[in-house]
Amino acid sequence: MRKFLTWLSLGTLALAAYTYGARAGRGRYLEIKAAVDAVRHDPKIKKARTRALKRAHKAVTSATKQAKKIGR
């Protein structure tokens, strides 16, 4: 059920983005893209993203070990 809701939310977001993008035109699209790129390539954001990925990987590894330990 959770996976379904995730895909439904993603689809709804994509539809809304397409609709607003079609109305706003190419100029607005380029403004939004520039803003997203500026945030995405910010060194602080890159560092936080890397840190979050490392923590997520560590959590997955830990959960896998625990699951093997209890036999599931």
Domain spans, the chain: 9-41, 43-72
Give pLDDT tens digits for 9-24: 888 988 888 887 777 7
**pLDDT mean over 50-66:** 95
- Under the banding of pLDDT at 50, 70 and 90, the label for residue 72 is low
Give pLDDT tens digits for 1-54: 788 888 888 889 888 888 877 777 778 778 888 998 998 899 999 999 999 999
Q: Is the pLDDT of residue 63 over 90?
A: yes
The token pair that represents 1 in the structure block: 């059920």
Scan for tokens 């709804």, then name that residue: 12
The pLDDT of residue 60 is 95
Alpha-carbon span 23 to 50, nearest angstrom: 35
Amino acid at 5: L
